[in-house]
């Protein structure tokens, strides 16, 4: 849906640029920059209307783009880019992505290098247990910044999936709602929305602290609830000996990619196709 999203030409300028937007029309393959006075329309004439469907798609695009920026792009400048919002046309053919680009010198935050130097000993100490949600993401982000996450003890997202693989979402918000009956503070609650939206690095420290600490608190509470459930279901050994260890493997695959032998892949494809045809014949024979 948004595979063709192109970066704004001036994305590389690391000056303060809150509220800047890139518009992209999937059909026209154009990526004009800047705000428009009227709601942008796709070629089909669909305006940027907000519906439950477009909100879900926009939120997913924002999450995916943020993850791509911080896990797949190696340019250190993108660390200072924040995806602050996304708007999607009703026919899902057109997306408008809001972002901010902020240089270290323009922020009031601690320098990144200083913060990483203080956190590195903690993250790399295997004797300090690490409990969290979707720790594969943390592994990738930290390793991009020269830190090897060690001592992984529990991942609430993986535990929840093992206990019930039929859920549509395993986000921290959803797990908090289902298991704890608690509605978490949303990203929009602290950054605002629409024209008043601001990047996270401009959120008041107290609000940012409350939002961030809630994530940690909820992950810990979920751990205390889900671990006994895994034991009760007889899954705790598989979880610890197999699933948990695969987090690092999957993170490595995500960072390095996968080498594919096209010849072998074709052979396997033909083998599977032949097997499926035989299985189909057996099924038809059984049912008459």
- Per-residue pLDDT tens for 138-183? 998 888 888 999 999 999 999 999 999 999 889 999 999 999 999 9
CB count within 10 Å of CB 123 equals 18
Name the DSSP letter for residue 19.
T
The 8-class DSSP code of residue 26 comes to T
CA 78 – CA 76 distance, rounded (Å): 5
98 with 132, same domain?
no
Separation of first and last alpha carbons in the chain: 43
One digit per residue, pLDDT tens: the chain, 288 residues? 333 333 333 333 333 333 445 544 443 333 333 333 344 444 444 556 678 888 888 888 888 887 787 667 766 666 667 777 788 888 888 888 887 765 444 446 778 789 899 999 999 999 999 999 999 989 988 888 889 999 999 999 999 999 999 998 899 999 999 999 999 998 888 888 777 778 777 888 889 899 999 999 999 999 999 999 999 999 999 999 999 999 999 988 888 888 889 999 999 999 999 999 999 999 998 887
Measured CA to CA in angstroms, residue 174 lies from 35, 131, 208 at distances of 33, 18, 20
Range of the domain at 178: 112-256
**Neighbour order of strands in the sheet with 81-88:** 20-25, 94-101, 81-88
CATH code at 49?
A: 3.30.300
What is the number of domains present in the chain?
A: 2
Asked if residue 149 and residue 57 are part of one domain, the reply reads no
Nearest to 208 by CA among 174, 185, 180, 175: 185
Task: Evaluate whether 62 touches 85 at the Cβ level (below 8 Å).
Answer: yes
- The answer as to whether 268 is a domain residue is no
Phi, psi of 171 (to 5 degrees): -65, 160
- Domain end, chosen from 106, 127, 157, is at 106
Q: 247 and 129 in one domain?
A: yes
Residue 47: count of CB within 10 angstroms of its CB? 13
Domain assignment of residue 135, yes or no: yes
Q: Are residues 196 and 62 in the same domain?
A: no
Residue 187 backbone dihedrals phi, psi, to 5 degrees: -60, -40
CATH number where 217 lies: 3.30.420.10
Both 244 and 150 in one domain: the answer is yes
pLDDT at 76: 63
Answer whether residue 249 is part of any domain. Answer: yes
- 70 within a domain of the structure (yes/no): yes
Say what the pTM is.
0.60
Residue at 269 is within a domain: no
Instruction: Say if strands 152-155 and 130-132 run parallel, antiparallel, or are unpaired.
Output: parallel
């Amino acid at each position: 849906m948004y595979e063709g999203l192109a970066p704004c030409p001036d994305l590389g300028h690391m000056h303060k640029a809150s509220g800047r937007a890139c518009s992209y029309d999937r059909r026209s393959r154009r990526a004009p920059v800047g705000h428009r006075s009227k709601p942008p329309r796709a070629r089909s004439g669909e305006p940027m209307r907000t519906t439950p469907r477009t909100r879900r798609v926009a939120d997913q695009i924002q999450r995916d783009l943020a993850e791509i920026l911080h896990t797949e792009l190696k340019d250190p400048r993108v660390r200072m880019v924040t995806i602050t919002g996304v708007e999607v046309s009703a026919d899902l053919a057109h997306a408008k992505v809001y972002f901010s680009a902020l240089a270290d010198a323009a922020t009031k935050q601690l320098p990144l290098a200083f913060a990483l130097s203080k956190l590195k000993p903690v993250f790399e100490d295997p004797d300090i247990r690490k409990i969290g949600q979707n720790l594969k993401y943390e592994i990738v982000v930290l390793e991009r910044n020269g830190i090897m996450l060690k001592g992984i003890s529990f991942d609430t997202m993986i535990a929840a999936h093992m206990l019930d693989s039929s859920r549509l979402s395993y986000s921290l918000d959803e797990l908090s709602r289902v298991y704890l009956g608690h509605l978490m503070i949303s990203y929009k609650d602290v950054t605002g929305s629409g024209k008043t939206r601001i990047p996270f690095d401009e959120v008041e420290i107290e609000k940012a602290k409350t939002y961030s600490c809630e994530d940690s608190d909820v992950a810990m509470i979920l751990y205390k609830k889900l671990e006994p459930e895994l034991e009760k279901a007889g899954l705790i050994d598989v979880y610890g000996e197999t699933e948990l260890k695969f987090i690092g493997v999957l993170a490595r695959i995500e960072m390095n990619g996968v080498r594919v032998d096209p010849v072998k892949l074709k052979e396997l494809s033909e083998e599977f196709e032949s097997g499926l045809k035989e299985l189909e014949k057996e099924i038809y024979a059984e049912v008459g």
